[in-house]
Amino acid sequence: MKSDKEKDITTKNLSVLEVLNKHLEDYLNLLEQSLTTEGLSLLILKEFIEVSNFFISIGDQEYNKAQTDKNPDFKTIYILNYLLPESFKNTMLIHRDVLLQLQISKNKKQESLVDDQTVQHHLKESKAILEKAINSFSQKISSELNPAQQTDKKRKKHISKTKHQQNPWEVYKNQFLTVQNQTKEIEKSTHTLSNIILVFKDIKNHTQNICTTLISELENSKQTISKVLDSVQNLDEIVKTADTISLIEDILDDLEVTNTEQETYAFDIELKIASLEENSIPVASEDGLLLIKKIDFNKSAKKWLNYMLLPDMIELWQNRTNLLAFYKHSLLNLKSSLTLLKNNNTLETLPSQVQSIQNLLRSANTNENLQRKIIGLVQEKFSAEFLVSNIYQTEDFLRVSLQSSITQLTSSKNKFLLEVEKKFKNILSFFSRTYEISTADNPFMKLEASSKCIEYRTFKASNVHYDTLFLNKNFIGDLFFVPRETEKQKLQETLSLWKKGHNKAVLVVGNSLSGKSTFIESAAKDHFDKQSIFLEIDSTISVEGRKFTTTKNLAEALQHIKKHTYNFHPLLVIDNLELWRDKNHSLLDNVRAAIEFVESESDQVFVIMTTSNAMQSHLDKRLPFSNSFSSVIDVNKAKTDEIHKAILLRHGASHRSLVTEKGLPLLNKQLELYVQKLCKNYDNNMGEVLQAWTYAITTADDHKVIFEEKEYDFEDFFTPEEIIILKYVLLYKHINEIVLKNLLGNRYSISYKSGLKRLTNTKVFLRNTEGNLVLNQVLYHNIREILKYRGTLN
């Protein structure tokens, strides 16, 4: 761009708006030049920031005139303080977002995730977006400079606005400065991430060098074995045995069985990641907000390497040790045998020695195939998971999955989990009317507030008759049943095809209290009458008059059903699939048995299974679970009018009048608005809304119920260890001390015992009749949202 002196000479006879347009034209000319990704980033950080500074300065100038001048220029004040700031803010946000995407592009190129052609296409698209934004803003200025646009009516409107409406310039100015600071944060994070990528590459190269060395060593060993084999096969005279024995001794002298790299690997990796630390990285924008992830790269990288990589490396070293030990043992035996042949002056047993060396060579080939397979897995993990660019994904950075074991999820303090911070402070939001300021509350205050919330929601004996109408989770007859027409129609279509001979099975999913059980019980009543088998753990079922007592072995129960359903076509319901597990029968084994049954028997038996959305997602990562069903019906969200109808039906059955805390009848419109609010707060989950309705209700003696809405927030006071336990219970419905101790071993007493005790004491967990700990049903929604925010639940 031109120097300040050149600008002054060029623009001294122009209005501020014309000067602004001139700045935009100069910037646009630079933008149209051939640029690299780094060049475009620098152009935004330098030249566009200068344009934004100029806009801020002239905006300040007109704002001050409006405050001090007796006869200000209302037109210019209106344009710069009222009209243009919103458009310019949009332009700044577009530049900020493009800068972030350029950073992402650069990071992915550095990690070889995209090629040059893709980067160039991305660069071209980025420039086009910026050019379009600048041209649009410039045209808006030009239209205001056009004399034909300046009618008396419009001029009076400008004067009226500037006189009678509060000038918003200070708010806009703060927003502009905030966005400028965000671009600086993006620039800073670019250098930070570039250095982190170099560390990650160093770790990857170091590990791959070790793998290459292991393979090279194995190939050399095979060559050595082949040399020994040739020497033994060429033994046709006793005198030659001395040369073979000497060759074997030389090999044994050079043989190093210990894994020196295994002893130093952890220390070497520790040194490489020592420079990594916790950083706040801009990762995306949403509705104008810049989303930030706070990640402890040191801890998360260490955790991933320890739990995802190190087991494979240890297996590689162990395989090497086993082969070398066998190698050494075989050579020593061969040496002894050859020495014995030499002393006895005979070659009679030589063929057996040849056979032993051939066996050794076959073992080496088998070991090489195994080593290459493991190394392939290591390289695949590095290529797909050990990437700095994965911070831009919605999942946890370098996540250690619960699929392996709960222990893997608990190896760090969870500080690297996703945290989205709201960076705008003390200004009106571009995206809404106010900005939310995040503050760190005292954990004891959070615990106290949460205890009040639980107490407020806890079932009250005085409301027992009224609340029972809303809290009953079983199918209680057509009087209270509100059909879900969309889901019902989908089930009907699937059932019609099944009756025509097609293999059909239905998976019903939804969070707790969403009405899965009620939905399938209604379906059984409507379509199968008494030809229904409800398969539950530790219960007795009857199939064609043959009784069978179930355990937690689902395969056994399904086999019994398979044997005795040749003469009729029943409905088989497996409700709450996640409950089928114990120490002898894992959930995965039972799910596999269920899938096999569906695949082979779903033309004879109409199968409906239910589970939660979280468990569905969890199983889909391990098995082709959802794909095994012909239909998946999600009952998680009901329609607002369906929920409204359900509340009216239950309230009507109470034969009580609904009044406000002042004794006035609650109007239908007020009731409707409150139901809509509950639906929004609880994501249209039918059961949770019905449950939440009872929180605000108090029964009175005069056949009235008093509606009094209160707000008690449930705060996140949980430790990382407690979060792990909460996720387990949300997935698997219940837990107990023995299960947790078996999963965690010694770590249970060290880190988790106190957390489990606190969850019980605060009534987050309740103990059921079987002695298991279950989640307090009044907290399902809150716990789910907390786990999502913490990043431990997708």
**CA torsion through residues 322, 324, 329, 330, sign:** positive
Structural domain boundaries enclosing 66: 4-167
Percent of the chain topping pLDDT 70: 87
Assigned domain for 431 exists: no
**CA torsion through residues 254, 257, 262, 263, sign:** negative
- Is residue 340 over pLDDT 70? yes
Rg (CA), the chain: 36
Residues 535 and 624 in one domain: yes
Q: How confident is the model at residue 155 (pLDDT cuts 50, 70, 90)?
A: low
CATH number at residue 273: 1.20.120
What's the residue count for the chain? 794
Q: How confident is the model at residue 427 (pLDDT cuts 50, 70, 90)?
A: very low
> In this structure, which amino acid lies at residue 704?
K
Assigned domain for 496 exists: yes
- Higher pLDDT, residue 259 or 51: 51
Percent of the chain topping pLDDT 90: 16
Give the pLDDT score at 65: 84
Across the range 623-642, mean pLDDT stands at: 88
Across the range 79-100, mean pLDDT stands at: 91
HEC readout, 647-699: HHHHHHHHCCEEEECCCCECCHHHHHHHHHHHHHHCCCCHHHHHHHHHHCEEE
Q: How confident is the model at residue 117 (pLDDT cuts 50, 70, 90)?
A: very high
Last residue of a domain, one of 687, 707, 727: 707
Assigned domain for 37 exists: yes
Q: How would you label 271-301 residue by residue, b for 16+ Cβ within 10 Å and e otherwise?
A: ebbeebeebbbbbbbeebbbbbbebbbbbbb
Assigned domain for 780 exists: yes
- Is residue 506 over pLDDT 50? yes
What does the alpha-carbon distance between residue 213 and residue 264 come to, in Å, rounded to a whole number?
A: 15
Assigned domain for 179 exists: no
Give the pLDDT score at 160: 66
- Is residue 260 over pLDDT 80? no
Residues 380 and 502 in one domain: no
Per-residue model confidence as pLDDT tens digits over 196-216:
999 999 999 999 999 998 888
Per-residue model confidence as pLDDT tens digits over 756-768:
888 888 888 988 8
Which residue bears the tokens 């560390």? 199
Least confident residue range of 156-160, 437-441, 561-565:
437-441
- Higher pLDDT, residue 169 or 344: 169
Alpha carbon distances (Å) from 370 to 261, 311, 314, 375: 19, 15, 13, 9
Query: In 10 A of CB 556, how many CB atoms?
Result: 14
What does the alpha-carbon distance between residue 694 and residue 705 come to, in Å, rounded to a whole number?
A: 10
Across the range 583-607, mean pLDDT stands at: 88
- DSSP run (H or E) holding 296: strand 289-296
Assigned domain for 174 exists: no
Give the pLDDT score at 432: 29
Assigned domain for 697 exists: yes
For residue 90, what are its two tokens? 């949009």
Q: How confident is the model at residue 38 (pLDDT cuts 50, 70, 90)?
A: very high
* Contact between residue 167 and residue 66 where contact means Cβ atoms under 8 Å apart: yes
Residues 685 and 729 in one domain: no
Which residue bears the tokens 């392939």? 376
Tell me which range, 337-341, 402-406, 415-419, 613-617, is most confidently predicted by mean pLDDT. 613-617
Give the pLDDT score at 405: 30
Give the pLDDT score at 164: 61
Tell me the angle at which helices 116-145 and 84-110 cross, rounded to the nearest 10 degrees.
170
* Contact between residue 599 and residue 623 where contact means Cβ atoms under 8 Å apart: no
CA atoms within 13 A on the CB side of 452: 10
Give the pLDDT score at 187: 92
Least confident residue range of 105-119, 337-351, 551-565:
337-351
- Is residue 401 over pLDDT 60? no
**Domain count of the chain?**
5
DSSP reduced 3-state for 370: helix
Q: How confident is the model at residue 422 (pLDDT cuts 50, 70, 90)?
A: very low
- Is residue 441 over pLDDT 60? no
Residues 661 and 629 in one domain: no
Tell me which range, 4-18, 201-215, 563-577, is most confidently predicted by mean pLDDT. 201-215
Last residue of a domain, one of 634, 661, 696: 634
Residues 367 and 470 in one domain: no
For residue 278, what is the DSSP state? E
- Is residue 410 over pLDDT 60? no
Tell me which range, 263-272, 444-453, 658-667, 757-766, is most confidently predicted by mean pLDDT. 757-766
Give the pLDDT score at 425: 30
Last residue of a domain, one of 634, 667, 684: 634
Residues 132 and 209 in one domain: no
Q: How confident is the model at residue 418 (pLDDT cuts 50, 70, 90)?
A: very low
Pick from 521, 520, 512, 515: nearest CA to 774: 512
* Contact between residue 207 and residue 313 where contact means Cβ atoms under 8 Å apart: yes
* Contact between residue 659 and residue 705 where contact means Cβ atoms under 8 Å apart: yes
> In this structure, which amino acid lies at residue 660?
T
Across the range 601-615, mean pLDDT stands at: 89
Assigned domain for 499 exists: yes
Pick from 514, 486, 638: nearest CA to 575: 514
Measured in whole angstroms, the distance separating CA 462 from the mean position of its chain's CA atoms is 42
> In this structure, which amino acid lies at residue 410?
T
What does the alpha-carbon distance between residue 109 and residue 122 come to, in Å, rounded to a whole number?
A: 12
Residues 554 and 511 in one domain: yes
What does the alpha-carbon distance between residue 187 and residue 181 come to, in Å, rounded to a whole number?
A: 10
Alpha carbon distances (Å) from 471 to 228, 666, 705: 80, 22, 16
- Is residue 47 over pLDDT 90? yes
CATH number at residue 622: 3.40.50.300
Pick from 674, 590, 688, 591: nearest CA to 638: 688
Residues 643 and 736 in one domain: no
Pick from 124, 91, 118: nearest CA to 105: 118
What does the alpha-carbon distance between residue 501 and residue 603 come to, in Å, rounded to a whole number?
A: 6
Across the range 149-175, mean pLDDT stands at: 71
Give the pLDDT score at 780: 86
Strand partners, 661: none
What does the alpha-carbon distance between residue 480 and residue 465 come to, in Å, rounded to a whole number?
A: 15
Give the pLDDT score at 90: 92
Per-residue model confidence as pLDDT tens digits over 442-487:
455 677 778 888 888 876 766 776 767 776 655 455 556 777 888 8
Give the pLDDT score at 314: 83
- Is residue 177 over pLDDT 90? yes
Per-residue model confidence as pLDDT tens digits over 689-729:
888 888 878 887 777 888 787 777 888 888 888 888 888 88
For residue 578, what are its two tokens? 């996640």
What does the alpha-carbon distance between residue 590 and residue 558 come to, in Å, rounded to a whole number?
A: 10
- Is residue 151 over pLDDT 60? no
Residues 382 and 236 in one domain: yes
What does the alpha-carbon distance between residue 143 and residue 150 come to, in Å, rounded to a whole number?
A: 10
Residues 693 and 724 in one domain: no
The number of helix segments (H) and strand segments (E) in the chain equals 29, 15
- Is residue 64 over pLDDT 60? yes
Residues 627 and 659 in one domain: no
Per DSSP bridges, beta strands 773-775 and 734-735 are: antiparallel
HEC readout, 466-521: HHHHHHCCCCCCCCCCCCCHHHHHHHHHHHHHHHCCCCCEEEEECCCCCCHHHHHH
Residues 464 and 359 in one domain: no
Across the range 562-570, mean pLDDT stands at: 79
Average pLDDT, the chain: 80
